[in-house]
Chains A and B, each alone.
Chain A
Amino acid sequence: MIVLSGLPFLFRFLPVFLVIYYICPVRYRNAALFLGSVFFYATGEPLFLLLLLGAVVVNYLTGRLIWRKPGSPKLGNTYAGLILGVAVDVLILAACKVLALRSDSFALPLGLSFYIFKMISYQADLFLGKIPERPEFIDTAAYFTMFPQVTQGPIMRYGDAFGADPAKREPEEVKKEETKESSPLEKEDKKEEAAEVSAHALRAQLRRMKEKTSAEAGAENNREKHNGAASSQRSRRETIRKTDRRVSPLDFERGLVLLATGLAFKVLIADRIGILWHEIGTIGYESISTPLAWLGAYAYSLQLYFDFFGYSLIAGGVGVMLGFPMVVNFNDPYRAKGIADFYRRWHVTLGAWFRDYVYIPLGGSRKGPAITVINLLIVWLLTGLWHGGTLNFVIWGLVLGLFIISERFLVKGVMEKSPVLGRIHVWLVIPLTWVVFAISDLEQLKVYFCRLFPFFGVGSTLNPGDFLKYLQIYWPFFLVGILLSVTGTVKFLLMHRRNVLVTLLLTAAFWASIYMLVTTQGNAFMYFSF
């Protein structure tokens, strides 16, 4: 149930939860979301639910210390709360990571890295005054635990969905995208929705005016008792709380499009092409041919991209269905013009987190080149450690940091003159760094690189034609994967989602994904293909 791309989630948890959620009055939806999320998390890891809930309570309490009215000065409490909250969060994260690394039996609590980062951002945003209204416990709890994001992100900001004015909820990335590329279709929707909202407000105002003129205060009280439902609805409209979750049917449709797309990416592309990477592991790195090693690097890169991208789309789509703004986590990274650009587009919410809460507080690039270099290295070291505690992740992060530094200081001129170097970085260096990311055993990693660059005589090809065999099987996945990476297909699909062909395509893709899910992981007794 805990896997967003699994049958139990898609056909059991999500429909049931959505029905309850939609029936729920708007102002109780955050509470419903919190309870649903607790149930969701408990089905995955009942034990660590306690850790999650404990962290929620602690962070809410320290958050209360930090929060102050906009414009009022920072007090001792503000600092104490921030230090306490962040210290607790960092401690939990570090302790669990170390434990998981040291012991075989201790697995990292589900989604820990993600929800802890959300918590830190919450504390920091409160400190920076980005959350003008004082958060209610239930809103905070729903934000930390919300089930679409609790396992693998995206790391949404509190202000993007809870604290800010509903009209300004759309995160910046989305807004940019929409102003740039949104279709007339979308604008029309938006206009209509906005009109609806203002019509509501207008009607409510009219009603209020009428009520005030026609009835005395006491009678009004009476009436409220009589038709409690109607009047509570009215009062709700009068004060549209900023944390209320309104969902229009069009939101549901938009979410469904995102979900279907994400599911197809995950199941039809990532899981298929992932088999190749798995097979290479089965063969053993020391025995593969050099072409197969390269094929494997690209297979893993595509797998990782469509797996995480697909997952993020599903999570985002479910979020949209729940009335949250779409959180963009991937913004066509393989169309980037360099590694720095790539990581502005890859796992956007994580990159933004490190930018806002590590890089900028450290001084960013304002304190001269030397500090900038150090800051970049710190950020990338932490990024590496965040992904995993083993040495390969440290190497991965530092290599990326060095490339980004070189892009910034050494080869900037070259990259500005011609896009070639940047593209080489994206299409050659990035897949190689993913290999480092993938193989946590350094000995094995060395072997793999020696197969990629066979100048050192490590290992030997046992079957020189192996890559042809795999290319024959997997070329359609490579083709589709690369095409989807280099073209703006996803945005195109989302933009033209009401086109008949797009609808048919998505319907087919959705059922094809379900077919794959049913036939490959449904029944434990049926899935044996050795």
Chain B
Amino acid sequence: MKFFRTVFRMPLTIMLGITFCLIAGAALYGRATVYAEYETAPLEEPYISSVFKGVRDGIYPWGEKKDAHEDELQALLSQVQQQAGVAPAAGGIADATANKIAGPDADPNAGSIAGESSEAENKDADTASETTEKKEDAAEESKEEITSAEDAEKTSEEKKEEGEGEDAAKAGEPSEEKEESSETEEAAKEEEENKEPENPNYIRADSMPEGVNSPVMEAVDYGVAGSRYLSPADTVYNTDEGGVFAQNGDYYTFRDVNDVYFSDALFIGDSRTVGLMEFGGMKESTYFIAKESTNVYNLFTKPLIFSEPDGTRTSRTLLDLLVSKQFRKIYLSVGVNELGIPDTIKFYESYKAAVAVIRQLQPDAIIYIQGIMHVSESKSKSDKVFNNTVVVQRNKAIATLANGHDIFYIDMNPDVCDENGNLLPELTSDGIHLKASGYEKWHEFLLHHAIYRSPDDYLGTGPIDEGVKIPGVTVPAEEGE
């Protein structure tokens, strides 16, 4: 009796005990099924934590709970992905990667690439041969494909220092650049090679100078005529940020524009873009759709904040927005939240799929792939996840997605980083985000790095500010610097 009297005086102990047992039971029950994908570190996390993670992700012991809208979105997304010709489901990413990696052997055109990679560093060659082996193994399962991706990751990690150096050296030296032909790039090149040449003077991917599509390359005109947008001969560029080259030989310079240029633009991104929206002084001249913790995996279906120039803000998913409204410029800036998922290839493939979906939904838009902004030196040194080695590696991967025609890669890191590629300490307090006053630098960068291909690219009602030097706006063919 005394026992029970004591027990009834301990309601919280009892309640916590009962609830703990219930939760533990749920964790046990769902261990092999719904919670299977949650890894638990036994020393750091209690067994029951998978239940809480499940609650966060809408997964319960009795199954996944999804609202109708989300299902609709997913269906729509996979439909669009199919139209765009990319692997629809997340599970397919690994397969797609493997196919791409295995591709070069099947594709006769790719002989040169395979040769290049075997001539390259030993590490790369190892990876490449491994890939070949894998390809030969018909009963390849996705598990091993993931291993292969991890291998590639390791290989890239081994090149840390080299990667950083390369990035710091603004003008990419071709010889050095060639060495970094990782699988990612092979995949990209291969993908691009499969495209029909749009121009008779098409430059083959493997003969294409490195640094193409990158703003930090030397401004050399490769002399392929055939477009009214080309800079005239004898054009002399004062900076090394002269322009970008399409594989078909088209050549565009980055122009100076004013804010009107952004009036039909959409900025998509994570918390950094939220910062640009709040403090970049652009929110009255352009559209933003952004929210913290946006990443390339949840980009289309996560509810984001959509900010319009008139000041209205609504919660929209990107997919909804892209289906219902057309833009002429899409600025994409994600990548920092994904750093924690240690797989550059997966990231690259997802990014590529995302760009393809945007392309599909916004056929007329210039897509700007914005390089992931580097982090500060102290952050980079102290953080296993958020360091510039990984950022540089990822930027290299996504830079290859640009085609110089309607998809461009722009990278403002040279404007906000020191000579070692670290984010300047005075521009940041947490090492990852710009301080509010630093967003003007981003804004300025965007104003100086606009692509203007034809009058269609500028649909603003007012004139482009005449005080701003905009080469090529009125008579594109006659302009230079």
User: Could you list which residues of chain A lie within 8 angstroms of chain B, going by C-beta atoms?
Assistant: 7-8, 10-12, 189, 249-250, 252-253, 256-257, 260, 278, 281-284, 286-288, 462-463, 466, 469, 497-498, 500, 503-504, 506-507, 510-511, 514-515, 518-519, 522-530
Interface residues of B in 85-113 (CB under 8 A from A): none
- By the criterion of a CB under 8 Å from any partner CB, how many residues of chain B are at the interface? 50
Cα-based distance from A253 to B10 in the complex (angstroms): 5
Interface residues of B in 287-321 (CB under 8 A from A): 292-293, 295
Pick from B19, B41, B339: contact of A528, CB under 8 Å:
B339
Interface residues of B in 342-359 (CB under 8 A from A): 342
A12: chain B residues at CB < 8 Å are 43, 46
Question: How far, in Å, is A9 (CB) from chain B's closest CB?
Answer: 11
Cα-based distance from A469 to B292 in the complex (angstroms): 14
B436: chain A residues at CB < 8 Å are 283-284, 286-288, 462-463
A506: chain B residues at CB < 8 Å are 12, 15
CB nearest to A504 among chain B residues: B15
Pick from B45, B342, B439: contact of A522, CB under 8 Å:
B45
Among A463, A466, A469, which residue has the most Cβ atoms of chain B within 10 A? A463
A497: chain B residues at CB < 8 Å are 11-12
Residue B139 interfacial (CB < 8 Å): no
Does the CB pair A287–B270 fall under 8 Å?
A: no
Does the CB pair A8–B43 fall under 8 Å?
A: yes
Question: How far, in Å, is A246 (CB) from chain B's closest CB?
Answer: 15
Cα-based distance from A38 to B7 in the complex (angstroms): 33
Does the CB pair B12–A253 fall under 8 Å?
A: yes
B39: chain A residues at CB < 8 Å are 523
Stretch at the interface among B50-58, B158-166, B201-209: B50-58
Whether A281 touches B430, Cβ cut-off 8 Å, given contacts A12-B43, A462-B436, A514-B52, is: yes
CB nearest to B47 among chain A residues: A11
Does the CB pair A281–B56 fall under 8 Å?
A: no
A469: chain B residues at CB < 8 Å are 278
Pick from B15, B279, B339: contact of A503, CB under 8 Å:
B15
Question: How far, in Å, is A281 (CB) from chain B's closest CB?
Answer: 5
Does the CB pair A256–B292 fall under 8 Å?
A: no
Residue B9 interfacial (CB < 8 Å): yes
Whether A250 touches B10, Cβ cut-off 8 Å, given contacts A528-B337, A529-B337, is: yes
Among A284, A287, A506, which residue has the most Cβ atoms of chain B within 10 A? A284
A-B contact pairs, 26 of them (CB 8 A): A7-B46, A8-B43, A8-B44, A12-B46, A249-B9, A249-B13, A253-B9, A253-B10, A256-B16, A282-B433, A283-B435, A286-B437, A287-B436, A462-B436, A463-B278, A463-B436, A503-B12, A504-B15, A507-B15, A523-B39, A526-B53, A528-B293, A528-B338, A530-B272, A530-B336, A530-B432
Cα-based distance from A504 to B11 in the complex (angstroms): 9
Pick from B293, B340, B438: contact of A525, CB under 8 Å:
B340
Residue B429 interfacial (CB < 8 Å): yes
Question: How far, in Å, is B91 (CB) from chain A's closest CB?
Answer: 18
Does the CB pair B9–A498 fall under 8 Å?
A: yes
Cα-based distance from A12 to B40 in the complex (angstroms): 14
B6: chain A residues at CB < 8 Å are 249-250
Question: How far, in Å, is A165 (CB) from chain B's closest CB?
Answer: 25
Does the CB pair B292–A530 fall under 8 Å?
A: yes
Pick from A286, A504, A515, A525: contact of B52, CB under 8 Å:
A515
Does the CB pair A256–B12 fall under 8 Å?
A: yes
Residue B271 interfacial (CB < 8 Å): yes
Question: How far, in Å, is B21 (CB) from chain A's closest CB?
Answer: 13
Whether A530 touches B10, Cβ cut-off 8 Å, given contacts A11-B46, A466-B278, A503-B15, is: no
Residue B68 interfacial (CB < 8 Å): no
Residue B341 interfacial (CB < 8 Å): yes
Whether A519 touches B56, Cβ cut-off 8 Å, given contacts A278-B430, A530-B433, is: yes
B48: chain A residues at CB < 8 Å are 514
Whether A252 touches B10, Cβ cut-off 8 Å, given contacts A284-B436, A524-B385, A526-B340, is: yes
B78: chain A residues at CB < 8 Å are none
Please give 14 more A-B residue pairs, beta carbons under 8 A apart, in addition to A8-B43, A462-B278, A530-B336: A250-B10, A286-B437, A469-B278, A497-B11, A498-B9, A504-B15, A507-B16, A525-B341, A526-B340, A528-B336, A528-B385, A529-B293, A530-B292, A530-B337
User: Could you list which residues of chain B lie within 8 angstroms of chain A, going by C-beta atoms?
Assistant: 6-7, 9-13, 15-16, 19, 23, 39, 41, 43-46, 48-49, 52-53, 55-56, 270-272, 275, 278-279, 281, 292-293, 295, 336-342, 385, 429-430, 432-433, 435-439
B337: chain A residues at CB < 8 Å are 528-530
B53: chain A residues at CB < 8 Å are 518-519, 522-523, 526
Cα-based distance from A57 to B19 in the complex (angstroms): 44
Cα-based distance from A12 to B19 in the complex (angstroms): 18
Question: How far, in Å, is A10 (CB) from chain B's closest CB?
Answer: 8
Does the CB pair B19–A511 fall under 8 Å?
A: yes
Question: How far, in Å, is B42 (CB) from chain A's closest CB?
Answer: 9
A8: chain B residues at CB < 8 Å are 43-45
Pick from B49, B295, B339, B435: contact of A284, CB under 8 Å:
B435
Question: How far, in Å, is B164 (CB) from chain A's closest CB?
Answer: 22
CB nearest to B38 among chain A residues: A523
Cα-based distance from A257 to B14 in the complex (angstroms): 12
Does the CB pair B279–A463 fall under 8 Å?
A: yes
Pick from A253, A282, A500, A522: contact of B435, CB under 8 Å:
A282
Cα-based distance from A252 to B6 in the complex (angstroms): 11
Question: How far, in Å, is A105 (CB) from chain B's closest CB?
Answer: 12
B429: chain A residues at CB < 8 Å are 281-282, 284
B338: chain A residues at CB < 8 Å are 528
Whether A530 touches B340, Cβ cut-off 8 Å, given contacts A252-B10, A256-B13, A466-B278, is: no
Does the CB pair A287–B46 fall under 8 Å?
A: no
Does the CB pair A522–B12 fall under 8 Å?
A: no
Whether A507 touches B293, Cβ cut-off 8 Å, given contacts A278-B430, A530-B337, is: no
Does the CB pair A527–B340 fall under 8 Å?
A: yes
B278: chain A residues at CB < 8 Å are 462-463, 466, 469
Question: How far, in Å, is A284 (CB) from chain B's closest CB?
Answer: 3
B45: chain A residues at CB < 8 Å are 7-8, 11, 518, 522-523
B437: chain A residues at CB < 8 Å are 284, 286-287, 462
A503: chain B residues at CB < 8 Å are 11-12, 15
Among B15, B23, B341, B433, which residue has the most Cβ atoms of chain A within 10 A? B15
CB nearest to A286 among chain B residues: B437
Question: How far, in Å, is A288 (CB) from chain B's closest CB?
Answer: 7
Does the CB pair A287–B430 fall under 8 Å?
A: no
B46: chain A residues at CB < 8 Å are 7, 10-12
Cα-based distance from A256 to B10 in the complex (angstroms): 9
Cα-based distance from A502 to B113 in the complex (angstroms): 69
Cα-based distance from A257 to B13 in the complex (angstroms): 8
CB nearest to A10 among chain B residues: B46
Pick from A189, A462, A507, A527: contact of B12, CB under 8 Å:
A507
Does the CB pair B336–A249 fall under 8 Å?
A: no
B435: chain A residues at CB < 8 Å are 282-284, 286-287
B439: chain A residues at CB < 8 Å are 462
B272: chain A residues at CB < 8 Å are 530
